[in-house]
Chain A
């Protein structure tokens, strides 16, 4: 406004320079104020720090840096209807039965009718394409699956642990460590070794005995009830610390069962607080661990084997007139353990709840109490379960599970009576699961 001022503004201000250098820094919320805007700005800075972390170990360290009281979720639990609660915590859809794999993926089973096939060779050529589909051991293209041999391996393992080897009496309430535990270890190790020819993934696998699997995640929000932070809204944190009896880790990922965005059902919604299950809060280290550290090349999971403890025996449930809860125990164990394992595998690859998975992670589990076996297959489609990220997230995790079936009826005098081939076949198919390239 003063005429004298024109001396200094003779030069026309450059249009480009005002764009490149703004006169004022950006106006954003403060970092340290006690306001919602400041809280969201702090969260954004934290997310940027985790996104920008150089290595996966650094990311995991930052992800679990802040310790708050969190619910400890136990996969093997006696809580009633725990499988519905666990489904709601992990956003899992439970589908009964196993996913139907393509019949061509199954290796040929050496049927007793091998010789009639060779005898049928002089038949007319028109039937040759059809005959080529059915397994031909005479062709020698792929090694066959000898169910009789595997059955004898399983029976030998069972007989050795329960009958032939003389052991002392089991310790009180430690029946599971006496016979079913060693039997499961023997069975899996011998089956995996004999099937390694058919499945090259098993030949490169790593077998862990009694490993540790941990996962920490946030799901939902709650108001802090008591203490100096009373009234603030905090995310609900969960931690699973699991010890499977046996686990097989592989260097290549299992193929997806259904596409990433598929919707196979609904997740049960529970209106109560998690502490009503009952679940209890504790504050300790937020661990994410699949069984070995990030540097291990076998960083994907194949199959876990869980042994139910004496506290969750079938007889106890029957005695307390809770027969319907027997299957719940198997299901909750399968869902929780597999969610923890697949999610930890995904975190080892650098995904977390702000950076959701771009490919599904698939793992399998067998839950048993020594005689009854239940099979589970889990596909992790999403890790984004925290309150902000779940709003626009249509994906759900999927778990396929079977009911528990007995492998045998009874062991008497060195004979296994009532051996169930279906259970063995399902176990073998689990072990033979491999990516399509192999």
Chain B
């Protein structure tokens, strides 16, 4: 009906900032990291996922989307040869989350399979400065009067308020800080996939859910403003378009709509490549479009890598 991110913002008491935060942008622009040489590898990896992976002529999205993601993560992981603290990360697949919170007397809950989560031993340092956090106090959340903010949400009787990712991982898990969530929209049929706006809303909700669960695990269930904000990142893709998101949880006091808000930086609709031509297009015996990847954007891959390296570099 209307953009989902605005609704998600109201539900999670969040202020939106366009573009990536300066800390991550700094990693992207840092020449010392040698991101240039990786461009060639990234192009090979995209070609592998989109063109070469299968014995058939062209792989379908259900196949190439996860393969592309795995290849990108493989390149990022190989950087741990240079930065040894990168090996303190662990991927968790098929990971379930369950969090509840109250928002102006409405009890909300996030549950379900939230894609692939990458955990690390050390938390990401807060991205926004103290002044920015205090400045959110003046920000007014937009309401959608007369539409209720819980439109399109499923109403469910909750008998047990399940509360944390500690439900998913047992105590004593060494990689206890959620670092990045990955969402792959890999359904073949377009109507089964989330549209970019809805995908961004989903990413925001799950990032918020994970951060809230971690906050409750660290500081208990009382709503309060956090001195040490929790940062969770999120990347969503459908194989070609990438959505990057950095979410910072500043407060667990979500009942009222005033006071300090949470912050989210969203960089949306980044194309990794324009087109992938599997079979050369021939019109009247002349090859008009040769096979290959066209319009490769190295910046999108650099942002992916920067989000991966964030927290250790």
B169 (CB) vs chain A CBs: closest residue: A164
Taking A160-B173, A297-B44 as contacts, is the C-beta distance between A194 and B87 under 8 angstroms?
yes
User: What are the interface flags for A195-211 relative to B under an 8 Å C-beta threshold, 1 for contact and 0 otherwise?
Assistant: 11100001110111101
* A182 at the B interface (CB under 8 A): yes
The complex places the Cα of A193 from the Cα of B94 at a distance, in Å, of 22
Which of these binds chain B: A72-80, A92-100, A288-296, A364-372? Answer: A288-296
Q: Is the CB of A206 within 8 A of B172?
A: no
User: Which of chain A's residues 343-392 have a Cβ closer than 8 Å to chain B?
Assistant: none
* B54 at the A interface (CB under 8 A): yes
Q: Is the CB of B52 within 8 A of A295?
A: yes
Question: How many of A's residues come within 8 Å of B, CB to CB?
Answer: 39
B76 (CB) vs chain A CBs: closest residue: A193
* A81 at the B interface (CB under 8 A): no
A182 (CB) vs chain B CBs: closest residue: B93
Which residues of A have CB within 8 Å of B170?
163-164, 166, 414
Which residues of A have CB within 8 Å of B54?
212
Q: Is the CB of A193 within 8 A of B77?
A: yes
* A153 at the B interface (CB under 8 A): yes
User: Which of chain A's residues 228-261 have a Cβ closer than 8 Å to chain B?
Assistant: none
Q: Is the CB of A166 within 8 A of B87?
A: no
CB distance from B50 to the nearest CB of A (A): 11
Which residues of B have CB within 8 Å of A157?
90
Q: Is the CB of B90 within 8 A of A293?
A: no
Which residues of B have CB within 8 Å of A287?
55
The complex places the Cα of A204 from the Cα of B81 at a distance, in Å, of 12
* B51 at the A interface (CB under 8 A): yes
Q: Is the CB of A289 within 8 A of B55?
A: yes
* B78 at the A interface (CB under 8 A): yes
The complex places the Cα of A196 from the Cα of B41 at a distance, in Å, of 15
Q: Is the CB of B90 within 8 A of A207?
A: no
Q: Is the CB of B78 within 8 A of A196?
A: yes
A413 (CB) vs chain B CBs: closest residue: B172
Binding site secondary structure of chain A: mixed
Q: Is the CB of B74 within 8 A of A296?
A: no
Partner of B175 from the list A160, A195, A211, A297 (CB cut-off 8 Å) is A160
User: What are the interface flags for B43-75 relative to A under an 8 Å C-beta threshold, 1 for contact and 0 otherwise?
Assistant: 011011001111100000000001100110010
A198 (CB) vs chain B CBs: closest residue: B81
Q: Is the CB of B78 within 8 A of A156?
A: no
A289 (CB) vs chain B CBs: closest residue: B55
* A275 at the B interface (CB under 8 A): no
* A47 at the B interface (CB under 8 A): no
The complex places the Cα of A295 from the Cα of B53 at a distance, in Å, of 10
Q: Is the CB of B70 within 8 A of A209?
A: yes
Q: Is the CB of A190 within 8 A of B78?
A: no
Taking A209-B70, A287-B55, A414-B172 as contacts, is the C-beta distance between A165 and B92 under 8 angstroms?
yes
User: What are the interface flags for A169-194 relative to B under an 8 Å C-beta threshold, 1 for contact and 0 otherwise?
Assistant: 00000000000001000100110111
Which residues of A have CB within 8 Å of B51?
293, 295
Q: Is the CB of B78 within 8 A of A202?
A: yes
Which residues of A have CB within 8 Å of B96?
166
Q: Is the CB of B92 within 8 A of A160?
A: yes
A196 (CB) vs chain B CBs: closest residue: B81
* A276 at the B interface (CB under 8 A): no
User: Which of chain B's residues 63-122 have a Cβ closer than 8 Å to chain A?
Assistant: 66-67, 70-71, 74, 77-78, 80-82, 84, 86-87, 90-96
Partner of B53 from the list A160, A202, A207, A292 (CB cut-off 8 Å) is A292
CB distance from B212 to the nearest CB of A (A): 19
Which residues of A have CB within 8 Å of B77?
189-190, 192-193
Partner of B168 from the list A149, A153, A165, A212 (CB cut-off 8 Å) is A165
* B19 at the A interface (CB under 8 A): no
Which residues of A have CB within 8 Å of B91?
186, 189
User: Which of chain B's residues 204-247 have a Cβ closer than 8 Å to chain A?
Assistant: none
* Smallest CB-CB A-B distances: 10 pairs: A197-B81, A193-B77, A293-B52, A292-B52, A196-B81, A164-B173, A289-B55, A296-B52, A207-B74, A193-B80
Beyond A192-B78, A295-B47, 5 additional contacts (C-beta under 8 Å) are A153-B87, A193-B81, A203-B81, A207-B70, A295-B52
5 residue pairs bridging A and B, Cβ less than 8 Å apart: A156-B175, A164-B170, A182-B93, A293-B55, A297-B44
* B residues neighboring A (CB under 8 Å): 41, 44-45, 47-48, 51-55, 66-67, 70-71, 74, 77-78, 80-82, 84, 86-87, 90-96, 167-170, 172-175
